[in-house]
Chain A
């Protein structure tokens, strides 16, 4: 039996099945009003929330660098210029990342519509998911940047304070074996923490969307195999 010979039986059965599941206009209204967010809408919502949190975090960083720290510094020796430069560079990096991320996200979502060709839909969803992943890394990057600058500032202040207490010069204290050991240990712990956070983010994203992205890419490959 050929597939075309099954067409009439198929049409009869599929029409009967559709009739069995038929919904009235009220039920359709109800479904429309009670609809939950789909994946892309959820991602859009999460990106907006994530962006707001990052802006808030950056604002705290800026306030800390230019308002709280200078206030606390009064009466103490001020932080050297290179630390201020580093903070300024940090803020520049954060603003640059925001602009880069926003441009990427707008470009990815601009052409997304389920009424497009399947190829375009698949490409748009994959791009949106990758941009979403970038937000994870952007958040982590900003967090790490803030932590690194705080780490360096804290380390410098600690050494400086110790030198004052001992009445020694900064170079004497910072080059003592005990201090070098502490600095190295601090850097190692910091690096391990960074690596663990990256690994956790990567694992979490793969767990959530890894199979889905794989499925979309497979479909896209199938679509492109002849064309």
Chain B
């Protein structure tokens, strides 16, 4: 079963990396969270039933783990001054305006709550409200209301 698990995770690991990039401020935190999510996926793997898509299940475990992760009393980073170098883009692949917008977006997302981060990540990943509701286990109505609030917050933080 371990072999099957590692293969399937290897193919879908992008999901974990995307979750980690939203919830972590440093590479060290990112490594820790990646490992914790991996452990939780492995622990929950026997209970995975094919009633839902594997990616839906994986998003759910990864986001729940990120939202409930326990950090020992580390000094909280100043969210407004988050290291934008972490989000350095390859200059040749992105135009300057997009690069600036993505940097601003990351900084703005860092100010959101754990639940809001999960909803905005799934929204940016082009998930429909129905799927966001299935992953987070909250109603579509709540997701819709929350998403409107998040958009307003992000506009405010990004000054757009």
The chain B residue with its CB closest to the CB of A119 is B137
Q: Which residues of B contact A216 (CB under 8 A)?
A: 68
Q: Please tell me if the beta carbons of A17 and B21 are within 8 angstroms of each other in the complex.
A: yes
Known A38-B39, A39-B70: A25·B6 in contact at CB below 8 Å: yes
Q: Please tell me if the beta carbons of B94 and A13 are within 8 angstroms of each other in the complex.
A: yes
Partner among A11, A113, A222 whose Cβ is within 8 Å of the Cβ of B44: A113
Closest Cβ–Cβ distance, residue B51 to chain A (whole Å): 12
Q: Please tell me if the beta carbons of B123 and A3 are within 8 angstroms of each other in the complex.
A: yes
CB of B98 within 8 Å of the partner chain: yes
Q: Please tell me if the beta carbons of A28 and B18 are within 8 angstroms of each other in the complex.
A: no
Known A1-B101, A25-B6, A115-B57: A18·B93 in contact at CB below 8 Å: no
In the complex, per-residue mask of B85-112: 1 if CB is within 8 Å of any chain A CB, else 0: 0010110011000100110010000000
Known A9-B94, A12-B94, A35-B35: A115·B125 in contact at CB below 8 Å: no
Measured in the bound complex, the distance between the Cα atoms of B105 and A153 in whole Å is 70
CB of A117 within 8 Å of the partner chain: yes
Q: Which residues of B contact A226 (CB under 8 A)?
A: 141-142, 145-146
Q: Which residues of A contact B98 (CB under 8 A)?
A: 9
The chain A residue with its CB closest to the CB of B146 is A226
CB of B138 within 8 Å of the partner chain: yes
Partner among B6, B39, B105, B138 whose Cβ is within 8 Å of the Cβ of A6: B105
Q: Which residues of B contact A18 (CB under 8 A)?
A: 13-14, 17-18, 21
Number of interface residues of A (CB under 8 A): 50
- Beta-carbon contacts under 8 Å, B46-94 to A: 47-48, 57, 60-61, 63-65, 67-68, 70, 73, 87, 89-90, 93-94
Measured in the bound complex, the distance between the Cα atoms of B61 and A12 in whole Å is 24
Q: Please tell me if the beta carbons of B6 and A32 are within 8 angstroms of each other in the complex.
A: yes
Measured in the bound complex, the distance between the Cα atoms of B141 and A16 in whole Å is 32
Partner among A10, A32, A218, A227 whose Cβ is within 8 Å of the Cβ of B38: A32
Partner among B10, B34, B36, B139 whose Cβ is within 8 Å of the Cβ of A38: B36
- Beta-carbon contacts under 8 Å, A112-128 to B: 113-122, 125
Q: Which residues of A contact B126 (CB under 8 A)?
A: 7, 11
Q: Which residues of A contact B18 (CB under 8 A)?
A: 14, 17-18
Q: Which residues of A contact B154 (CB under 8 A)?
A: 3
Q: Which residues of A contact B94 (CB under 8 A)?
A: 9, 12-13
The chain A residue with its CB closest to the CB of B5 is A32
Measured in the bound complex, the distance between the Cα atoms of B98 and A35 in whole Å is 38
Measured in the bound complex, the distance between the Cα atoms of B139 and A31 in whole Å is 35
The 10 closest A-B pairs by CB, nearest first: A117-B137, A18-B17, A18-B14, A115-B44, A39-B70, A9-B98, A114-B40, A35-B39, A10-B124, A114-B64
Known: A38-B39, A38-B70. 7 other contacts (CB 8 A): A3-B124, A17-B87, A18-B13, A21-B30, A28-B6, A32-B2, A119-B137
20 residue pairs A–B, Cβ–Cβ below 8 Å: A6-B105, A7-B124, A11-B124, A12-B93, A13-B94, A16-B89, A21-B34, A22-B13, A24-B10, A28-B13, A113-B44, A114-B44, A115-B47, A115-B61, A118-B137, A207-B73, A211-B73, A219-B113, A227-B138, A227-B142
